[in-house]
Amino acid sequence: MMSEANLKEVEDAGWSFIVGGKLPDVPYQVAQWRREHPDVEPTDQLILTQPTSMGPKTDQRRRTTYYQYRADRARRAMHGIDTQVAKAEKAIAGQAAIKRNRFVTLTGGTRTVNRDLEAKVRALAGWKPYVTNLDAKAEFVIGAYHQLWHVEHSFRMSKHDLKARPIYARKHESIDAHLAVVFAALAVSQRIEHLTGWTISRFVKTLRRYRSVQIHTGNHTVTAEQPVPEDIRKALDRIRRPAGD
């Protein structure tokens, strides 16, 4: 997604974008900060900014890359690096079988630990780039990217909970009708989650067991129902009478 060709296609379609990526190499801004602050760990939430133009001279596009450092991200990355390097050292010493390990370098019959690669990935630990064509502050760009989980949550819900796929309709009208029902159900589900604070899965599973039954005996009709607990009754009341409505 981070390729310039993909970003151009998104932009040419009339869209703005915020893309989070991975760093294959130490970017200039991070390297420069390291040179200016030798032997100093970056502060948590530190952000470095790189405005740039991407693409050929005949079709250059304005981009801004924000590099954010997170202490927790660095801690988790360092733990993974330490684990992999330890496995590589054991493999080199003949104490473990050599499996797929990026820190092991095979040159002819010689096995070594790739210390240059280790130094590079340690320098990148904790950093993440966010690329955008928006004229917006770093806090907005990074905050908006971190709302992506809402989109992913909706996708998982429509795909699994609402049975959006697989579908076996072949006609265009049938497919459109099926997806219309799915997204209508998605809208209703999100409304229920917003009003009750429950996940739709919990809501459906909890209420499924509470039903009313009408029994006809002669000229009499008897309605039997299971009492609804107070927390469920409050949730239903919030749906019937939303606050502010």
Instruction: Tell me how many domains the chain contains.
Output: 3
- For residues 58 and 130, state if they share a domain: yes
156 within domain boundaries? no
Same-domain pairing of 216 and 172: yes
Among 119, 154, 189, the domain boundary falls at 119
Q: Do 175 and 236 reside in the same domain of the chain? A: yes
The contacts of residue 75 (CB under 8 Å, 6+ apart) are 126
**pLDDT of the chain along its 245 residues, tens only?**
667 788 888 899 999 999 998 898 999 999 999 999 988 999 999 999 999 887 777 888 889 999 999 999 999 999 999 999 999 998 888 887 777 788 988 887 788 999 999 999 999 999 999 999 999 999 999 999 988 777 666 666 666 666 666 666 778 888 888 878 878 888 888 888 889 988 888 888 888 888 878 888 888 888 877 788 898 888 888 888 766 55
Tokens 């001279």 correspond to 57
Structure tokens at 129: 């780039």
Domain hosting residue 24, numbered range: 4-68+126-146
In a domain, 162, yes or no: no
Residues 36 and 54 in one domain: yes
**Ordered alpha helix ranges (H), the chain:** 4-12, 28-36, 71-92, 115-124, 138-145, 148-156, 172-196, 200-207, 230-240
Residues 83 and 52 in one domain: no
pTM: 0.64
Instruction: Return the CA Rg of the chain.
Output: 28
104, 203: one domain? no
